[in-house]
Structure 1
């Protein structure tokens, strides 16, 4: 059976060395890693360097008592979720209520009973693990919903646009029939991809990576996004060898990677400019470059671009709206393929001509 305690860190905060010694010896029986602070101020300094999994906090201490220490820990976003168990020599109902109101999860009375101490510590560590697991699961589900909503926008938007045009010219339907089928299949594939990602998270599925023709996937994406390119009179310049292949999962690469990157390039490009897509092959790797002449990004935004919990959405050059979830999805999938991503960007200023964003995606691949 795996020992869940081995890497669990417990911070003991007590001004009495004998209490620290007793607590330390008891906890070491279960392989906990022990951290010590002898007053509240020292404890606050300790957690700045090392985050414990649980804190045993004495109430009566000099300099800063346990109540004030607890309050400061709970006010800090980095430490507010750490379970705190109060250590007390007396059981005063008002003190216990005050401790719980401040965010403590439990209390242990002195002198310590070893079995009770270990049981309470183990219980709250297990509750913390379950809470973190639930939060991780919820976050994963939120990401899957974002993928579904975000990536369905392009194919469904394309279908809507074509159907609107058929009101003006019924013959357009026949001309665009093949492209419409492609958009419908992409939509179905996105839904299937979300199901697979859930199974992947649960360990019931492995990502199916295959070598695919890079240029063909880009051309398919260009067809879906053609109305957006036309609307801003953008020229897409593609310089990619027909025989280059990359190792990816087909559906996610097309809908979550290429479509998102190209959509962003279109959104943040100024009308009547160009978007450049090129690729180079070195040894067993292919690096895809997507470069626009758009508005660029500030450094502050660039550093949060891949974080799902950070809002990076902003309007495009003609007011286009977005969700801000595109790049975190790109990052997630590229990493799942065993690849890497780099982004360089320079904001447009009044006298600047050298502005825009360039994205580099490096993937396993080669020449067919």
Structure 2
């Protein structure tokens, strides 16, 4: 196992050598530099960044503050813990270092134990954060693989199985059988398409590409009946399968909002998809309603489905978050509400509200500022 590497930046040669000796005696690998500029050159020449940096503040050419800012500006160095060395009584140095985000400081003059305790504590904390972060990443990867395994396999099974039967038994099938098989293929293909489109939109939202598109594509929208109608038509077959009725309630005189029609449709479709999907009882309704309230046009999607328990509500807009995945296998990939939040809040500057009663249903409301109350 390789030694822990520490970069020491100090213009006082005697002090720098003393720090180096203390650290090397305690089995640390030590790199040294006499100021921030030299330290940056040294960092860029290393195959891997050091595990910790100990830096003086007052130095020629580039002081500790400028060096710290330069280190934090590099993505590959962001996680390196940083300890400032400061003279006794220089409280401004301590305060400024903390404001900048330095992990710790050691006051000069110091003895070996003071330095070693600070170094050990920061390295231990870095390792703890790294373990937690790696564990979370591992959990996310596992969740994604589990979800994708189910969500891709199921619609592909529809497509492959029905296509295989059409190919093998075409001469013996009636026209009704063929239509039924084609509907199965179409259902599987649409499910895959929606999943892929949602992943693409999520990436666009998180990379900022969607914001750029929104800025040049947005325009005044007031035809909410058309928005609801196209969504209801798109989900008519799914609603019929679930024995759910889609009901629309839109007045004719609502004011316009500044929006992107495609992105707004995508958010509405995510809500409608969930509303239908999580309604287990037959002969129930999903209601799409629009109304004006307090300077906003409100777009509401209400269902009579499972509802959401109170302790889950704070998490459901997180990417890949799902409720009882082991129990409910119909949840999709867990990105729909994250897309809704991104489209409504991040792009349109709107608000998304949720009311839910477990076992009774949920009400999601998208609130978009009317044109008179926002800058174009």
User: In which range does the TM-score fall when normalised by the shorter chain?
Assistant: 0.5 to 0.7
Counterpart mapping for 1:29-48 below 5 A: 33-35=96-98
1:364 is matched with 369
Task: Give 1:234 deviation, angstroms.
Answer: 0.6
Take 1:241 and 1:358, find their aligned partners in 2: how far apart are those partners?
A: 19
2:101 is matched with 53
1:338 is matched with 349
Take 1:307 and 1:20, find their aligned partners in 2: how far apart are those partners?
A: 46
Take 1:231 and 1:269, find their aligned partners in 2: how far apart are those partners?
A: 11
* Structure 1 residue ranges without an equivalent (≥5): 36-49, 82-141, 174-181, 349-354
Take 2:335 and 2:299, find their aligned partners in 1: how far apart are those partners?
A: 21
Whether 1:66 and 2:129 are equivalent positions in the alignment is no
TM-score (norm 2): 0.52
* Structure 2 residue ranges without an equivalent (≥5): 1-65, 73-80, 134-140, 167-173, 182-189
1:168 is matched with 176
Whether 1:209 and 2:218 are equivalent positions in the alignment is yes
Whether the 8 Å contact between 1:199 and 1:205 is mirrored in structure 2 is: no
Take 1:316 and 1:288, find their aligned partners in 2: how far apart are those partners?
A: 32
Whether the 8 Å contact between 2:297 and 2:368 is mirrored in structure 1 is: yes
Quick one: which of 278, 302, 305 aligns to 1:268? 278
How many residues of Structure 1 are paired with residues of Structure 2 in the alignment?
258
Task: Give 1:200 deviation, angstroms.
Answer: 3.5
Whether the 8 Å contact between 2:202 and 2:335 is mirrored in structure 1 is: no
Take 1:323 and 1:20, find their aligned partners in 2: how far apart are those partners?
A: 56
> What's the CA shift string for 1:152-208, capped at 9, x where partnerless?
x9xx99x97xx98996367899xxxxxxxx99x999998997897667379687252
Stretch moving more, 310-319 or 226-235? 310-319
SS in 2 for 1:206: helix
Classify 1:11/1:199 alpha carbon distance in 2 versus 1 (closer, same or farther; 3 Å). Answer: closer
> What's the CA shift string for 1:260-319, capped at 9, x where partnerless?
0001111111231211221211464211111111111122321112223x6235559974
Classify 1:223/1:317 alpha carbon distance in 2 versus 1 (closer, same or farther; 3 Å). Answer: farther
SS in 2 for 1:34: helix
Stretch moving more, 311-320 or 208-217? 311-320
Whether 1:306 and 2:279 are equivalent positions in the alignment is no
Task: Give 1:217 deviation, angstroms.
Answer: 1.5
Whether the 8 Å contact between 2:84 and 2:102 is mirrored in structure 1 is: no
2:245 is matched with 235
1:88 is matched with none
Whether the 8 Å contact between 1:267 and 1:317 is mirrored in structure 2 is: no
Take 1:290 and 1:71, find their aligned partners in 2: how far apart are those partners?
A: 50
Counterpart mapping for 1:80-119 below 5 A: none
Large movers: runs of 4+ above 6 Å: 78-81, 163-167, 169-173, 185-196
1:296 is matched with 307
CA RMSD in angstroms, aligned pairs only: 5.3
Whether 1:254 and 2:323 are equivalent positions in the alignment is no
1:47 is matched with none
Whether 1:322 and 2:374 are equivalent positions in the alignment is no
Take 1:205 and 1:240, find their aligned partners in 2: how far apart are those partners?
A: 25
1:21 is matched with 90
Determine which structure has more spread, i.e. the larger CA radius of gyration: 2
